[in-house]
Structure 1
Amino acid sequence: MPLRPVMVNIKALDAPAVGGFWAEALGWSAYHPGVTTYVGPGGGPVWPDPVFVCVDVVPVPEPKTTAKNRVHLDLATTSASHQAELVARLESLGATPADVGQGTVPWTVLADPEGNEFCVLEPRDIYRDTGPIAAVVVDCADPRAMARFWGEAIDWTLHEVTDDRAVLRNAKGVGPYLEFLRTPGTKTAPDRVHLDLLPYPGDDKAAEVARLRTLGATDLDVGQGDVPWTCLTDPEEHEFCVLAPS
């Protein structure tokens, strides 16, 4: 069975601080199950969450480069006043305006306290039922190729595919969208943000990883050593991990 996206992995020098920022930004809670800071809905650290793609902030020794991340979060709002209030609140928490060449647009581009870019969207009907994260957005050269790979890799439904954009979402119609946007430029540095995927109970992780390789994934060595997860890249070199079932 294809894999399920369960977390957005964000690297940070100060994982508790960045995790605390994202907990406040999303209206969720920060948990510290180990060396990482897990951010998810309140009520306890449910993992994997049955609805939402949550956030896991992982400590690393290297700061972010000046290169724009190729993966970012879009945050949903319900009205113009909500958008303005959210932007003001995020800036009070340490977010800063970011210029990624967006020009004059109705959404606001910010960076978290360690420079990871994200967007606060103007209200859009399509995102009214997603929760605080409207979409996980991936820059790419070929959305159609990304749709072919990710449409087979994960168990989400393909909603749209054009030369400029591909959109997937959980088949149950819950949680955020996964969007691949045709974007100029090429990858120049390892990304600070990536998706973590998880097999379903009873599925064989090794078999799933082998299946991904046949679809075009490539093994990735980031110095992880002997760990229970597997690091891979998709056909456009976006990093992602396949986690071991608990």
Structure 2
Amino acid sequence: MSTRLVYVAVRAQRPSALAEFWARLLGWTVTLDRGDRVDIAPPDPGLPGPALTFRAAPPGAPAHASPNRLHLDLASYSPRQQDDRVRLALELGGDHLDIGQGAVPWVVLADPEGNEFCVLEPRPEYVGTGALAAVVVGAAAPARLAAFWSVASGWPVARNGAVAGLRSPTELGAWLEFIPHPGPGDDRLHLELGARAGTAAAERLTAAGAVARPDGGTRFLDPEHNPFCLVEAERGQPTN
């Protein structure tokens, strides 16, 4: 494959503080800290799921107002662990969030900058993921978007239906899932693909249905107009 999923990028008002929240909540480690960008990753290098990178929001960026199209789901392996994860999130500065979910077994929370995430009840499909169960993307057509991202990430479609899911061929690490979404949402979180310099990654992605963004470089829109970027796989640095 010419591209692989390497990051969930988060646009943040305070990258260092938000990265610290997520590192402590997930039990991950800081792998890069240069002030305007902080990266965190699982301490287990065998987990192939994406790392998280927190980038400074541009000056004058609007406050978070509408739900993100992309959010994170956290795993738990017992009811007690679910309670402990929720308690820790609240202690670190998170908050409960009502998005109309009603009576559900998972807990919906917001991080200190208002980004939605869920702490799931124990589910057998998330055994082996580590703390991050899934990166979840809202989609008008989940199966169609999953097919594109399967090509983009090199991960096979492991679940298809109302909710479509991709999983690393190793069957370890977080899922990439696509769920029905009623309409547009905020794009403060986006996916980044790693590509080796000199490959024809851009041509391969556009052939699969991606559209180059008007600002050019290595910034694209997927078939449902979610922004994503290419980065150099070796260093995790933007290629433009």
Amino acid at match of 1:121: L
- Are 1:220 and 2:213 counterparts? yes
CA distance in 1, matches of 2:64, 2:47: 34
CA distance in 1, matches of 2:128, 2:118: 18
Match of 1:230 in 2: 218
- Percent identity between the aligned chains? 39
Unaligned residue ranges in structure 2 (runs of 5+): 235-240
CA distance in 2, matches of 1:188, 1:136: 16
Query: What is the alpha-carbon root mean square deviation over aligned residues?
Result: 2.0
- The 1:28–1:14 alpha-carbon spacing in structure 2 relative to 1, beyond 3 Å, is same
Match of 1:211 in 2: 204
Match of 1:12 in 2: 12
Unaligned residue ranges in structure 1 (runs of 5+): none
Amino acid at match of 1:151: S
CA distance in 1, matches of 2:49, 2:142: 24
Q: What secondary structure does 2:232 align onto?
A: coil
Q: What secondary structure does 1:32 align onto?
A: strand
Q: Does the 8 Å CA contact 2:158/2:165 hold for their aligned counterparts?
A: yes
Amino acid at match of 1:214: A
How many angstroms does 1:41 deviate by? Answer: 2.8
For 1:78-157, what aligned pairs fall within 5 Å after superposition?
78-157=77-156
CA distance in 2, matches of 1:28, 1:76: 14
How many angstroms does 1:234 deviate by? Answer: 0.5
* Cα deviations by residue, 1:68-92 (Å, 9 ceiling, x for unpaired): 0000000000100110111011001
Q: State the aligned residue count.
A: 231
Q: What secondary structure does 2:19 align onto?
A: helix
- Are 1:65 and 2:68 counterparts? no
Amino acid at match of 1:134: A
* Cα deviations by residue, 1:93-135 (Å, 9 ceiling, x for unpaired): 0001112221110000001100010000001111121011000
Match of 1:182 in 2: 180
Q: What secondary structure does 2:223 align onto?
A: coil
How many angstroms does 1:221 deviate by? Answer: 4.7
Equivalent of 2:194 in 193, 198, 201: 198
Match of 1:158 in 2: 157
Match of 2:32 in 1: 32
Match of 2:237 in 1: none
TM-score, length-scaled by structure 1: 0.87
* Cα deviations by residue, 1:161-197 (Å, 9 ceiling, x for unpaired): 12x111101011111000001122x2154x0111111
Q: Does the 8 Å CA contact 1:97/1:111 hold for their aligned counterparts?
A: yes
- The 1:245–1:28 alpha-carbon spacing in structure 2 relative to 1, beyond 3 Å, is closer
- Are 1:244 and 2:237 counterparts? no
How many angstroms does 1:63 deviate by? Answer: 4.4
Q: What secondary structure does 1:37 align onto?
A: strand
Equivalent of 2:51 in 47, 51, 54: 54
How many angstroms does 1:2 deviate by? Answer: 4.0
Amino acid at match of 1:15: P
Amino acid at match of 2:191: L
Q: What secondary structure does 1:55 align onto?
A: strand
Q: What secondary structure does 2:121 align onto?
A: coil
Q: Does the 8 Å CA contact 1:2/1:152 hold for their aligned counterparts?
A: no
- The 1:161–1:91 alpha-carbon spacing in structure 2 relative to 1, beyond 3 Å, is same
CA distance in 1, matches of 2:77, 2:233: 36
Amino acid at match of 2:211: T
Amino acid at match of 2:213: L
